Amino acid sequence: MKLRLDPTRCQGYGLCQEPAPDLIDIDDFGYASVVADPTPGTSEDAARAAVEACPNSALRLER
Protein backbone atom coordinates (compact mmCIF):
# COMPACT_ATOMS: atom_id res chain seq x y z
CA MET A 1 0.00 0.00 0.00
CA LYS A 2 0.99 3.58 -0.55
CA LEU A 3 0.02 6.52 1.60
CA ARG A 4 -0.67 9.57 -0.55
CA LEU A 5 -1.03 13.19 0.46
CA ASP A 6 -2.81 15.87 -1.55
CA PRO A 7 -0.97 18.99 -0.35
CA THR A 8 -3.66 21.27 -1.78
CA ARG A 9 -6.18 19.79 0.69
CA CYS A 10 -3.89 19.83 3.74
CA GLN A 11 -4.81 22.71 6.05
CA GLY A 12 -2.00 22.17 8.55
CA TYR A 13 -3.96 20.72 11.45
CA GLY A 14 -1.33 18.01 12.05
CA LEU A 15 -3.92 15.52 13.33
CA CYS A 16 -2.69 12.78 11.00
CA GLN A 17 0.70 12.42 12.66
CA GLU A 18 -0.53 11.26 16.06
CA PRO A 19 -1.71 7.82 14.89
CA ALA A 20 1.18 7.39 12.42
CA PRO A 21 4.34 9.19 13.59
CA ASP A 22 6.62 6.80 11.67
CA LEU A 23 4.78 7.50 8.41
CA ILE A 24 4.02 11.21 8.56
CA ASP A 25 6.15 14.21 9.39
CA ILE A 26 4.74 17.61 10.33
CA ASP A 27 6.60 20.82 9.49
CA ASP A 28 6.85 23.91 11.71
CA PHE A 29 3.53 25.19 10.33
CA GLY A 30 1.60 21.95 10.91
CA TYR A 31 1.61 20.73 7.31
CA ALA A 32 2.08 17.03 6.70
CA SER A 33 4.43 15.10 4.46
CA VAL A 34 4.53 11.36 3.96
CA VAL A 35 7.96 9.99 4.92
CA ALA A 36 7.28 6.25 4.55
CA ASP A 37 4.74 3.87 3.11
CA PRO A 38 2.96 1.50 5.48
CA THR A 39 3.98 -2.12 5.81
CA PRO A 40 1.48 -4.91 6.46
CA GLY A 41 0.33 -5.08 10.04
CA THR A 42 0.65 -2.31 12.57
CA SER A 43 1.81 0.52 10.31
CA GLU A 44 -0.97 -0.29 7.85
CA ASP A 45 -3.47 0.15 10.69
CA ALA A 46 -1.74 3.39 11.68
CA ALA A 47 -1.99 4.65 8.09
CA ARG A 48 -5.73 3.94 8.06
CA ALA A 49 -6.11 5.83 11.35
CA ALA A 50 -4.17 8.78 9.92
CA VAL A 51 -6.44 8.88 6.86
CA GLU A 52 -9.48 8.89 9.14
CA ALA A 53 -7.98 11.62 11.35
CA CYS A 54 -7.61 14.11 8.50
CA PRO A 55 -10.62 16.45 8.51
CA ASN A 56 -10.00 17.53 4.90
CA SER A 57 -9.41 14.12 3.32
CA ALA A 58 -5.90 15.13 2.27
CA LEU A 59 -4.60 11.59 2.87
CA ARG A 60 -5.57 8.38 1.10
CA LEU A 61 -4.33 4.83 0.88
CA GLU A 62 -3.72 3.26 -2.53
CA ARG A 63 -2.97 -0.31 -3.45
Question: Which tens digits make up the pLDDT trace of 17-53?
Answer: 999 999 999 999 999 999 999 999 899 999 999 999 9
Q: What is the pTM of this model?
A: 0.92
Structural domains of the chain, count: 1
Confidence of residue 8 (pLDDT cuts 50, 70, 90): very high
Angle at 55 between CA 50 and CA 57, to 5 degrees: 70
**What is residue 9's predicted lDDT score, i.e. its pLDDT?**
97
Q: What is the pLDDT of residue 52?
A: 98
Average pLDDT over residues 4-20: 97
Range of 25's domain? 2-62
- 25: CATH: 3.30.70.20
Strand partners, 34: 24
